[in-house]
Amino acid sequence: MVHITEDLVRRRAEHNNCEIFSLEEISLHQQEIEKLEHLDKWCRDLKILYLQNNLIPKIENVGKLKKLEYLNVALNNIERVENLEGCEDLKKLDLTANFIGELSSIESLKCNIHLKELFLMGNPCTEFEGYRQFVVATLHQLKYLDSKEIERSERIKALQNYPEVKRKIREQEQTYLLRRAREKEEAQRRMQERKDEKQKQMDSKLGFDSPDSLQGKPNHAEGDGQQEGCRAVENDDEDRKFWEEPTPYTPESRLETHRYIEEKRRAKDNIRESKKREKTSWTLVTAEGKVLNVNVPKYLDTSLLDVDVQPTYIRVLVKGKPFQLVLPEEVKPDSSSAKRSQTTGHLVVTMPKAKEVILAKQKVSASIKHSDCNTQQKNTRRSGQIEKLEVDPSKYSFPDVTKIIQEQERTGQGPIKFQPQKVTEPKSCVDLENNEDVPPLI
Mean per-residue pLDDT, 3-15? 90
HEC string for 64-103:
CCCCCCEEECCCCCCCCCCCCCCCCCCCEEECCCCCCCCH
CB 145 within 8 A of CB 118: yes
**How far apart are the C-alpha atoms of 71 and 86, rounded to whole Å?**
13
Task: Specify the pLDDT at position 53.
Answer: 93
Q: Is 19 helix (H, G, I), strand (E, B) or coil?
A: coil
Predicted confidence (pLDDT) at residue 112 exceeds the cutoff of 90: yes
| pLDDT single digits (tens) 312-344 | 888 888 777 787 888 888 888 888 888 887 777
Which residue did the predictor score with more confidence, 230 or 137? 137
- pLDDT above 50: residue 217: no
DSSP readout, 334-397? Answer: TT-EEEE-TTT--EEEE--BSS---PPPPP--HHHHHHHHHHHHHHHHHHTSPP-----TTT--
Q: Which of 298 and 185 is assigned the larger pLDDT?
A: 185
**Percent residues over pLDDT 70 in the chain:** 71
Q: What percent of the chain has pLDDT over 90?
A: 37
What was the pLDDT predicted at 325? Answer: 85
Give the pLDDT confidence of 165-213 residue by residue, as tens digits: 999 999 999 999 999 999 999 888 888 888 888 788 777 766 645 445 4
Write down the pLDDT at residue 120. 95
pLDDT digits (tens, 9 = 90+) for 380-410: 555 555 555 555 556 555 566 666 665 555 4
User: Using one digit for the tens of pLDDT, what is the confidence trace for 255-269?
Assistant: 888 888 888 888 888
pLDDT at position 279 is 58
Mean pLDDT along residues 420-441: 61
- 3-class secondary structure, 202: helix
Q: Which amino acid is at 268?
A: K
- Model pLDDT, residue 395: 55
pLDDT tier at 220, thresholds 50, 70, 90: very low
pLDDT of residue 419: 54
Q: Which residue has the higher pLDDT, 28 or 18?
A: 28
Contact (Cβ atoms closer than 8 angstroms) between residue 136 and residue 113: no
Q: How many CB atoms lie within 10 A of CB 362?
A: 5
The least confident of 79-83, 132-136, 306-310 is: 306-310
Strand partners, 144: 117, 149
Among 108-112, 149-153, 218-222, 329-333, name the one with the lowest average pLDDT.
218-222
Distance CA 253, CA 186 (A): 10
**Contact call for residues 11 and 33 (beta carbons, < 8 A):** no
The neighbour count for residue 360, using CB atoms within 10 Å, is 5
Quote the pTM value: 0.58
CA distances, 298 to each of 292, 316, 377 (Å) = 19, 12, 58
pLDDT tier for residue 54 given thresholds of 50, 70 and 90: very high
Instruction: Return d(Cα 157, Cα 55) in angstroms, integer.
Output: 38
Average of per-residue pLDDT values in the chain: 79
In this structure, the chain runs to a length of: 442
**pLDDT score of 56 more than 70:** yes
Q: Looking at the predicted structure, is the pLDDT value of residue 287 above 70?
A: yes
Residue 148, beta-bridge partner list: 145
